[in-house]
Every structure is written in C-alpha cells, then in structure tokens.
C-alpha cells in the first residue's frame, strides 16, 4: 500500500494543495473488491414493525386451523373447500401383453412437434394418445409409422434377420438412407411424424406410433403392419424420404398392390389405400409447394408396389409417403428445414382428414 505524505502546514495545507491539482477518482469493482452496501430504505423500519405485528396473528390463525381442521372463516366443519386429489394420467388397466407393441403419442412442448434434434420424452408403451375433445377426426384412429429407427445401424444382426412378408422373405428393417452431409432419414421421419401427430391430435384423432425413438432398433416391417392392424386404424401412414440419385426430385406416395399370397391379402385395402394416397399426394403438393416425383410415378406422385412387407401385411388402409430425395441438393434443402417439415406434416394431415371425412 502506498503512503501519502502530508505537506507541511497540516490539513489546511493539504486542502490547499488539493485545490491546485485535478484529482481523478476511479471506481472499480473487481474480484478483490466488495461493492458498496446498498443505501437503507427509509421504509425499512416501518415495514419491519408491520411484519412483526402480523406474525402473531398469522400464528394464532394457524394454531386454530390445526385444532379445528378447517380454514379460519370457513364456517366450521364442511364449510371449507377441500383440495381435490389430482387424477392419474396413466391409462386404465395394464398395457397389452405380447405383440404388437405400440407407443403412446405425446405432443411436443412447442405444439408443433419436436424440433431439430428434439426428443419430447419417452412415451409409455402399449397405448395410444388421448384424443382431443372435438374435431373432424374425433373417434378416428390413425397409426403413424416413422420409417426406420435412428438406432438401427447399431443392430445390424437384428435388422438383417429375415421375416415373412407374404410374397417372400425380406430383412426385418434397414437403416434407411441419409443426405450427403450425413442427415439420417430416420431422424427426418421421426421429426415429421411427431409434427404430424400434433396436428392430427388437434383435429381430434387418436394417434398411435409404431416407434418413437424409444426402442433400440426396429420394429421389423411385419410388426409395423401388425401394430396398425391391432389398432383397428382408420388410416396408417408410413413416413419416409428416398435415397435416389442426384437430380431425381420430388415426392411420391406408395400404394399397396394386389397381393394374395401366404399371410398377405391386400385385396380389401387396395381401393381405400389408393383413395388415401391420392388425397395425401394432392394436399402434400399444395401445402409444401413440392412437385410430384420426376423419376417414378409418371408425374402423378403415386407408385404401386407389392414388395413392401409393411403394405403387404396390412389389413387396414395404408400408404408410404416418400417426402423427397435425400441425395438431391435441392430436395435436401427442403428436408433439412424445420419450417418445410412442418408443411409436410400439415399436408399429410390434410390428406388424412380429407380421406376420413368422406
């Protein structure tokens, strides 16, 4: 610490010396300095007195409540308002045992579905979402099937296991495709599916997922079909993105072809599925502004296939929606946009609403 010398003449001389020099005062509050204490309010003492006066009265009221069991001024027994116990949000009864296992739908916190990289909690298995109180889809059941699974690549042995799809045997599931920059189709499908769920629930539908990122891999394509069948779904939509060559652009909707072989019999659902797919293609294009595929479907946006187990084994109306091509730069710019994915979900939802209201 530096000492200041007092000039000859004492304090009077010091004040005179100070008058001749310009003094600069620097205020600094750092880690080694404590800020000046706040100035006491003029109201502090009156407030302290008021609080001290109120405490005995409050204590007396509390003691009276403990003795009588009623709030003060409730008018005696039965006069108060009892607090109701919160109702349980758990579904009544145990979850269904055995296959298929569905996942309960849960809306995302922002009301639009999960955002980029967002996972809105772990859903409870074995039940569907609670439908909205009203809306055009009240009483309708929609199963949403997010294609693939983000964890499939860690479980190659499991997903490569062969399953029966009616016409032949095929691998249980695949990892799906990805953009050249590494954005996985499985992440895309979950995001769009969650957004779609939110919109459908706002329309009054009961929504069931085949998976919500809550299981390490799968489910297999045959189980995905069984989930829709067991739910008695009025419509099932499987969300995907294609992995075609660069330059191939646009969306398309895959419809089940006529299959009657082994465990597969699509004959009852071919007509309704085509109607569902046609309405989704129409609304998807209108809402997103995307054009139908320029490489399959002859410009209609509709493609019929008989080699997909998820369609072959379905007994309820079902389609796949290939929202775009993850290997085309222009399509990827859309698929990686949260705003566009919200439009995709809205377009699919409007197609479902149109189909179920006919």
Rounded to an integer, what distance in angstroms lies between the CA atom of residue 159 and that of residue 174?
6
Residue 1 has pLDDT above 50, yes or no: no
Confidence check: pLDDT of 153 > 90: yes
Query: Residue 67 and residue 86: Cα distance in Å, rounded?
Result: 26
- CA torsion sign for 340, 332, 149, 285 is positive
pLDDT at 15 over 50: no
Predicted local distance difference test score (pLDDT) of residue 11:
43
For the cut 50, the answer to whether the pLDDT of residue 22 exceeds it is no
Name the CA radius of gyration of the chain, rounded: 33
Residue 358: its pLDDT value, please? 80
Q: 275, 322, 330, 350: which is the annotated catalytic residue? A: 322
pLDDT tens-digit map of 192-217:
999 999 999 999 999 999 999 999 99
Give me the pLDDT at residue 134, please. 84
Question: Has residue 54 got a pLDDT over 80?
Answer: no
Read off the pLDDT of residues 91-124 as tens digits, 9 standing for 90 and up.
Answer: 333 333 334 555 444 433 333 333 333 333 334 3
315/48: higher pLDDT:
315
99 is catalytic: no
DSSP one-letter string for 198-248: HHHHHTT-EEEES--S-SSS---HHHHHHHHHHTT-SEEEEEEEE---TT-
pTM for this predicted structure: 0.67
pLDDT at 191: 98
Domains of the chain from N-terminus onward: 137-356 (3.40.630.40)
Whole-number percent of the chain with pLDDT over 90:
62
Q: State how far the Cα of 236 lies from the Cα of 277, in Å rounded to an integer.
A: 10
Structure-block tokens of residue 147: 């294609």
């Amino acid at each position: 610490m530096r000492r200041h010398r007092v000039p000859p003449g004492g304090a009077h001389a010091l004040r005179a010396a100070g008058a001749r020099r310009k003094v600069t005062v620097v205020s600094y509050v750092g880690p080694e300095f404590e800020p000046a204490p706040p100035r006491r309010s003029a109201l502090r003492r009156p407030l302290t007195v008021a609080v001290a006066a109120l405490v005995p009265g409050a204590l007396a009221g509390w003691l009276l409540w403990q003795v009588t069991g009623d709030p003060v001024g409730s008018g005696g027994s039965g006069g108060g308002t009892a607090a109701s116990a919160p109702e349980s949000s758990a579904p009544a009864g145990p979850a269904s045992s055995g296959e298929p296992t569905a996942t309960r739908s849960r809306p995302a916190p922002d009301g639009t579905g999960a955002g980029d990289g967002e996972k809105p909690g772990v859903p409870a298995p074995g039940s569907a979402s609670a439908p909205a109180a009203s809306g055009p889809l009240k009483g309708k059941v929609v199963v949403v099937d997010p294609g693939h699974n983000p964890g499939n690549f860690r479980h190659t042995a499991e997903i490569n296991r062969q399953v029966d799809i009616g016409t032949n045997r095929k691998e249980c599931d695949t990892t799906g495709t990805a953009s050249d920059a590494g954005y996985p189709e499985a992440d895309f499908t979950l995001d769009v599916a969650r957004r779609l769920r939110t919109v459908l629930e706002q329309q009054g539908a009961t929504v069931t997922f085949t998976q919500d990122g809550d299981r390490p891999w799968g489910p297999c394509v045959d189980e995905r079909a069984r989930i829709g069948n067991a739910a008695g779904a009025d419509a099932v939509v499987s969300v995907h993105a294609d992995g075609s060559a660069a330059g191939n652009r646009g969306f398309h909707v895959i419809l089940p072809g006529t299959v009657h072989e082994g465990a597969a019999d699509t004959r009852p659902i071919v007509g309704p599925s085509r109607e569902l797919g046609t309405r989704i293609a129409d609304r998807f294009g209108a809402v997103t502004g995307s054009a139908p595929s320029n490489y399959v479907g002859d410009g209609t946006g509709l493609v019929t296939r008989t080699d997909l187990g998820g369609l072959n084994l379905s007994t309820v109306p079902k389609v796949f929606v290939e929202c775009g091509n993850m290997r085309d730069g222009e399509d990827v710019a859309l698929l990686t946009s949260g705003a566009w994915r919200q439009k995709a979900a809205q377009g699919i939802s409007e197609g479902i609403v149109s189909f179920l209201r006919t």
